[in-house]
Structure formats: C-alpha cells, structure tokens
Structure 1
Amino acid sequence: MSTIADNVLRVSARIRQAAAAAQRDEADVGLLAVSKTKPAAAVREAFGAGLKDFGENYLQEALGKQLELGDLPLTWHFIGPIQSNKTRAIAEHFDWVHSVDRLKIAQRLSEQRPAELPPLNICLQVNVSGEASKSGCTPAELPALAAAVAALPNLRLRGLMAIPEPTEDRAAQDAAFGAVQRLQAQLDLPLDTLSMGMSHDLEAAIAHGATWVRIGTALFGARDYGAR
C-alpha cells in the first residue's frame, strides 16, 4: 500500500514532467495538498514528506487541525465556499483564500483581518464552465469584482481559481484552463497566481499556467466524508 511520502514523490514527478512539457520552471508550480476530511496525522505525514501548504474546505475541521498541528510551520489555504458567518475565523486563521466570489465576502475578510497579520492572499473563484452547482463569479462579473477586491486594504489579490467541469477529455481540459488563463491576462492588474488543476487534470492546468495545483486524492487516497 502506498504511503503519503510515495504519493508525494509520484505527484511531484507528474508536476515536473508537465512543467517540462510546457517549457515552464517546475519551481513556479506549487503543490497544494487538499487535506479536507483527512486527519491531522495525515497532514503531519505529508509535512514530513516535504509539503507545507494545505488546503481545507470545512472551517471547523480545519481549525481543529490547526490547533493540533500548531508546532509545524504550515501555510493554510481555505478553498471551500464561504458563508458570511465564517469570514472572521477565516480572516484570522488562514494565509490564503482561493474561493472568493462576491465582493461582500472580500470586504468582510478585509475588515476582519487582524492588523498584526500580513495581508490575506486572495484568489477569485471563476465559474468557467457555467455549472449551476459550482460556486464562482461569472466571467462577465470578473473585471468589476477584481478591481474592487484589489482596492481593499487588508487583502492582496493574487489571481484566479477555477474548478472546471470534471472530464477526462484532454481537449476539454485545455479549453477550460485556457479560458481561465485568458481571463486573467485580460485583467489590468499585477496578478501572479492561477489556482487550478486537481489529481485528474493537473497536466492540462500546468500547460495553461497553473501556479497552484490542488491535489487531494492522489496524495491521501479517496475521501471518507462520513468521517467528518
């Protein structure tokens, strides 16, 4: 049975190969370990294998892990949908938020970010596939939202995040990730981040400029949602 360390090596090799194929520096592609539903022990094991960036979707679960793993120098990314009543804890306990899709949420995060902490790194989530079940602003809403968020004082707008409709069709993957890359290029802002690509499609995402790939299953195995 594969250990998390084995899986880190395998995923890192995929990132390296995809970056080479895209004529990119593999150092420009970060591996964000999606640890939602996984125990703190699995995060500790992944840290031992060289990872330090971890993505969580569920606030209470994440806060528990942060307490348990407070001895480790980890960087925490919130990557799930955000309710208004959760913004204070997210602003206080995370380094990155990848899933901002409304100005109201961004304003609350800015107002509630503690003064002693650096600006909160923000990605705007774009619903590039137009799926009704997915969070994210529309491509048409993006320019105004990006300009407004970039002006908020305690946030640093870094770029875009997307979760395209799942498919094994490489051409469809390329079309979706290419669309996100073009949307970012059209924004007249100093952005450096594209958070896109998961276990099944990281190669296509890297080909279209991903700087964070969010990997869960390929690192930790299938998720047990009943364990939450």
Structure 2
Amino acid sequence: MSSIADNIGSVTRRIQKATLQAGRKPDSVQLLAVSKTRSADELREAVLAGQRAFGENYLQEALDKIEALNDILDIEWHFIGPIQSNKTRQIANSFAWVHSVDRLKIARRLSEQRDPSLPPLNICLQVNVNEEESKSGCRLDELPQLIADISELPGIRLRGLMTIPDPSQSETDLRNSFHILATTLASLKAGHPDAGPLDTLSMGMSGDLELAIAEGATWVRVGTALFGARPVKS
C-alpha cells in the first residue's frame, strides 16, 4: 500500500508533467489536498511530506482538525463545500480561502464577518458550468453582475472561479467544460479590471487534473489520489 507521502509525490509529478505539456510555468499550478473525512493524523503525515494547503467541506470537522493541528503554523486552510448562511462567521475567520461562494448574500456575510485584523479572505465564485440541478453554483450569465457587486465589498478578495463539472461527461466534454470556465475568467478579467486579481481557476480533481491543467487550472483539488478511497460510512 502506498503511503500518503508516496501519493503526494506521484500526484506532484502528474501536475508537473501536465504543466510542462501545456507549456506553462512550472509553479503555475498548486495542489489542494481535499481532506474531508480524513483524520488529523493523516493530514499531519501529508504535512510532513511537504503538503501545506488543505480543502475541507464540512465546517465542524474542519474546525476540529484546525484545532488539532494548530501547532503547525503554515497550514493554509481552504473551505470548498456548500456554505450555509448561519456558518459564515466561522468560515470567514478560520480559512484563508473559500472556493464555493455562489451568491451575493454569502459574499456579503463573509465580508462583514471577516475579522479586520486578518488579511482579506480569498474567494472564488463557484460556477455550475453544466447547469446541473443537483449541483451548487451560479450560472455563467449571472457572473458579470455578481462580480460587480462583490468587488465593492471589503474584507474579501475576489480571486477567480471554481467548478465541479459533471464527471460522467466524455473526456472531450470535460475538457470543454474547463475551457468554458477559463475563457469566462479571461473575459471577466478584461471587463472588470478593478474587481480583484481574477487570477485563479480552481478546477480538476484526481481523475481529470491533466485536462484541467491543459485548460489553465491554477488549483487542482485532489483527495482520493492522495489519501485513497474515502471510508464508507456505517
């Protein structure tokens, strides 16, 4: 059985190879370890192997791990799950990044509740590229107004877009979904020069990270390829 350290090395090599093949700069893609349902001990093992950025989906589980690992000062915590309005205060003050903002109400609450002593909270807007009824995320046509409104909010820093495309698509359609998000970000950046850096594409997971990198991903969110299959809940 491969260790977490071995798996991190393997995924890092995949990222480096895909980045090279895409003709991009070697450090242009970062690995976000999706650590939901994983123990603090597993995360500590990943940290010892050099991993520093971790993505969590469930707030209370994440807060428990943040506390358990508070002796490691350079961990960067990312919230990547659906956001409930009554949880925004803790999310705003416990994470460096939030990838799953999908409406103005949530962005406004994160802005208002971020401790002013902290750096601005980096956020990505989650986009439902394939308009799946079961998926969170705003529509592509909602983005221009949403970005215009969010750019006025203090305490948060709009970094870019995130998507979780339909995994049942063909490889061609998956790549097209990533391409749509990339071209949308480029268009928004040109049309909203004062909205924020708009330098981030959070897309691609264990099975399709090469396709995402070819289309411009800057964060790939990888769980299974690092930690193995998630334990089945009894």
- Provide the secondary structure at the position in 2 that maps to 1:99: strand
Structure 2 residue corresponding to 1:222, chosen from 221, 225, 229: 229
Matched to 1:87, the amino acid is T
> Match of 1:78?
79
Name the stretch that deviates more: 94-103 or 18-27. 18-27
Q: 1:17 maps to what in 2?
A: 17
* Alignment match, 1:62: 62
Three-state SS of the structure 1 residue aligned to 2:141 is coil
Say which SS state the counterpart of residue 140 (structure 2) adopts. Answer: coil
Query: Whole-Å Cα distance in 2 between the matches of residues 185 and 212 of structure 1?
Result: 16
2:44 corresponds to = 44
How far off its partner does 1:195 sit?
0.3
Residue identity in the other structure for 1:124: L
Partner residue, 2:182: 181
Cα distance between partner residues in 2 of 1:50 and 1:162:
26
Which aligned pairs between 1:1-228 and structure 2 lie closer than 5 A?
1-72=1-72, 73-167=74-168, 169-187=170-188, 188-189=191-192, 190-224=197-231, 226=233
Contact persistence 1:37–1:225 (CA under 8 A): no
> Letter of the aligned partner of 1:101 in structure 2?
D
Q: How far apart, CA to CA, are the structure 2 residues paired with 1:174 and 1:205?
A: 7
Equivalenced residues, count:
227
TM-score (normalizing by structure 2) = 0.95
What secondary structure is seen at the aligned counterpart in 1 of 2:230?
A: coil
Residue 78 of structure 1: how far off its partner (Å): 0.1
The superposition leaves residues 179-202 of structure 1 with CA deviations (integer Å, 9 ceiling, x where unpaired) of 000111111233110000000000
- Secondary structure of the corresponding residue to residue 89 of structure 2: helix
Contact 1:15 / 1:26 at 8 angstroms: preserved in 2?
A: no
Equivalent position amino acid for 1:39 in 2:
S
Q: Distance in 2 between matches of 1:46 and 1:56?
A: 15
Residues 126 and 138 in structure 1, CA contact (< 8 A), matched pair in contact too: yes
* 1:105-150 superposed Cα distances (whole Å, 9 cap, x missing partner): 0000000000110000000000001111100000011111111112
Deviation at 1:26, TM superposition (A): 2.5
For the residue of structure 2 that corresponds to 1:141, the secondary structure is helix
Partner amino acid, structure 2, of 1:216: G
Q: CA RMSD in A?
A: 1.1
Distance 2:208 2:60 in 1: 29
Give the C-alpha shift of residue 151 in structure 1.
Answer: 1.6
Secondary structure of 1:65's match?
Answer: helix
1:168 and 1:132, CA in 2 relative to 1: closer, same or farther beyond 3 A?
Answer: closer
The answer to whether the 8 A contact 1:168-1:200 is kept is: no
For structure 2, list consecutive stretches of 5 or more residues without a partner in the other structure: none
Q: Report the 3-state secondary structure (helix = DSSP H, G, I; strand = E; otherwise coil) of the residue aligned with 2:55.
A: strand
The answer for unaligned runs of 5 or more in structure 1 is: none
**CA separation in 2, counterparts of 1:24 and 1:169?**
25
CA distance in 2, matches of 1:19, 1:129: 25
Distance 2:55 2:162 in 1: 13
Percent same amino acid among aligned pairs? 61
Q: Summarize the Cα distance change of 1:161–1:225 in structure 2 as closer, same or farther, 3 Å threshold.
A: farther
